[in-house]
Amino acid sequence: MSDAEREKSERAERAAYHVEADRKRRERESAKAQVLVDQFVRDAVAAGIATTELTARPYSGRGRYRTGLQGWFLRPDLSVGVDVDGGYHPLVVSPERWGRWRGVTLTPSPPPLQVGEGARDGESIALDALLQRRLDAGNGFA
């Protein structure tokens, strides 16, 4: 094996190691975040905070799509929600041709500990702070 081939192989191994380490870190974070989301659902139900139908919006921002899910919006811009079963849902989706009439199907995403990470300044917030803010707002959210 030549030096160039060996170096290329070592770089590939290092890259694979970092990808795997990042995946494991995200899984650990999601497990911690899911505990927070589950506690939020219990607290919201106990506090009597009304649920609403979660709706999604396309990337263009025009219109809303029905999802058939009941839960709570977490952000005032209605871009993130939690359903009554503890599923975390980013509510911005790719455009669907008939989405306004037929609705869209969402599957829960692993919740992050930092919502909006990598977004513009001021849009990132810790999940626990976001959930507490939503609980504090009660039924007067929006």
Q: How far is CA 128 from the centre of its chain?
A: 13
| Phi, psi (deg, nearest 5) at residue 42 | -60, -45
Mean pLDDT of each 10-residue bin along the chain, 142 residues long: 86 91 90 96 96 90 87 93 96 78 86 81 84 92 70
User: Which residues is 115 bridged to in the sheet?
Assistant: 125
User: Tell me, what's the pLDDT at 118?
Assistant: 64
Q: Give the model's pLDDT for residue 132.
A: 96
Which residue's entry shows tokens 């190691």?
17
The predicted structure's pLDDT at residue 116: 80
Rounded Cα distance, 72 and 51, in Å:
6
Residue 101: per-residue pLDDT: 72
- What pLDDT, on a 0 to 100 scale, did the predictor assign at position 142? 63
Q: pLDDT tens digits, residue range 56-73?
A: 998 887 888 889 999 999
Residue ranges making up the domain that contains 31 = 3-140
The alpha-carbon radius of gyration of the chain (Å, integer) is 19
Q: Is 54 exposed, middle or buried, given 0-12, 13-18 or 19+ CB atoms closer than 10 A? A: buried
Count up the domains in the chain and report the number: 1
